[in-house]
Amino acid sequence: MKKHNFYAGPSILSQYTIKNTADAVLNFADTGLSILEVSHRSKEFQAVIDEAMELVKELLDVPAGYHVVFVGGGASTQFAMVPFNLLKKKAAYLDTGVWAHKAIKEAKLFGEVDVVASSEADNYTYIPKDYVIPADADYFHFTTNNTIYGTELRKDPDSPVPLVADMSSDIFSRPIDVAKYDLIYAGAQKNLAPAGVTIVIVKEDALGKVDRPIPTMLNYLTHTSKGSMFNTPPVLPIYSALQTLKYYKQLGGVAEIEKVCVAKAAKLYDAIDSSRMFVGTANADDRSIMNVCFVMKPEYKELESEFVSFAQSQGIVGIKGHRSVGGFRASIYNAMPMESVEFLTACMKEFEDKH
């Protein structure tokens, strides 16, 4: 049976990425060796990481004066690395969900944190709008896509201070004005590669400005000065990331990808909005085009687990909602084809007609 993968993360990757990675596991770049067993200092792998770095810059139109590095530790390590390296006295944070909350917790270890707004009291169903970013903050941190709640800020906010963003679950789904940012980070396992690598795009001038000592591996300068090769980088995930980046370029780049993502999300939200049984959980203005969260209306609530089972029986995987929202979450990342979204909407319709 064909499977339709709606997992939130790790999540769907393009067949191009998976096939090329599988090939390289058997024979990497005609070396007669597996990508799993080659030196990260080999010229063949150096070519991989160089090209991956260049493609990130090309796809996101990264201006001069920025570094792209590949590090381990997941986005969660960035929650601490960002303030460790950038917070001198005070930083501003927007609280839009569990991930933002965790980033705030880490930042408090390093200085004053001004939480400019929070939607926690409404279970993060919306993204706060009317807040003031203090002009004396070192940076303003926000999460572009709130993976758990299905809300998303699809623009680069105006700010009196440099931006820092966690783009783990929507990077490469739209053009970004990188010049507004001191730093962007993204764990790979939502829109790029298998888990294990995190992309960091950081402005050269933003580094080296804090007085505190920073452990070597947590200092961005260690990685920027050595082209992500201070120690052994996550070789296999970087190889896969390169495949996805090539694939994104073939698709025509992030502006083209955005059009398709918008169309896929519209298809699914239309199905939810026109349903008698399902209802979306996120504020309509803030809806994510990556993670679509919905539940059964109160009068059908007892059918939720039955719908999950029904969807599963049809080959739909990973549709169960996060425990803090309940119901369903359809993650429709870049690699998700429109046909799978249509398959899901047809299943929803069929289930509704039966009940």
Ligand X SMILES: *Cc1c(COP(=O)(O)O)cnc(C)c1O
Of 168, 243, 331, 334, which one interacts with ligand X (CB under 6 A)?
168
What span, in angstroms and rounded, lies between the C-alpha atoms of 242 and 23?
14
| Residue number with CB closer to ligand X (99 or 220) | 99
| Residue number with CB closer to ligand X (198 or 243) | 198
What span, in angstroms and rounded, lies between the C-alpha atoms of 297 and 299?
6
Three-class SS state of 311 = helix
Three-class SS state of 103 = helix
Q: Give, as one character, the DSSP assignment of residue 218.
A: G
| Residue number with CB closer to ligand X (169 or 219) | 169
Percent helix, strand and coil across the chain, each rounded to 5?
Answer: 40, 20, 40
- Please say if 166 is a catalytic residue: yes
Contact mark string toward ligand X, 186..225, x via CB under 6 A: -x--x-----------------------------------
Q: Give the nearest distance from C-beta 99 to ligand X in angstroms.
A: 4
Q: Give the nearest distance from C-beta 141 to ligand X in angstroms.
A: 12
Span from 19-27, 154-162, 166-174, 210-218 in contact with ligand X (CB under 6 A): 166-174
Which pair of structure tokens corresponds to residue 53?
């770095």
- Please say if 99 is a catalytic residue: yes
Contact mark string toward ligand X, 66..95, x via CB under 6 A: --------xxx-------------------
Q: Give the nearest distance from C-beta 71 to ligand X in angstroms.
A: 11
| Residue number with CB closer to ligand X (109 or 132) | 109
Which residue is it, tokens 């150096």?
Answer: 46
Q: Give, as one character, the DSSP assignment of residue 83.
A: H
User: Which among 156, 166, 170, 286 is annotated as catalytic?
Assistant: 166
| Residue number with CB closer to ligand X (98 or 279) | 98
Rule CB under 6 A: say whether 166 interacts with ligand X. Answer: yes
Rule CB under 6 A: say whether 173 interacts with ligand X. Answer: no
Amino acid identity at 345: T
User: Which among 95, 99, 138, 170 is annotated as catalytic?
Assistant: 99
What span, in angstroms and rounded, lies between the C-alpha atoms of 132 and 266?
31
CA distances from 164 to 32, 95, 104, 152, 253 (A): 42, 13, 12, 15, 23
Asked if 261 and 243 count as a contact pair (C-beta separation under 8 A), the reply is no
Bond into 10 cis (ω within 30): yes
- Please say if 246 is a catalytic residue: no
Contact mark string toward ligand X, 94..133, x via CB under 6 A: -----x----------------------------------
Rg (CA), the chain: 21
Asked if 1 and 315 count as a contact pair (C-beta separation under 8 A), the reply is yes
Asked if 53 and 68 count as a contact pair (C-beta separation under 8 A), the reply is yes
| Residue number with CB closer to ligand X (138 or 166) | 166
Rule CB under 6 A: say whether 169 interacts with ligand X. Answer: yes
> Which residues of this protein are in contact with ligand X, per CB under 6 A?
9, 74-76, 99, 143, 147, 166, 168-169, 187, 190
Q: Which residues are catalytic?
A: 99, 166, 190
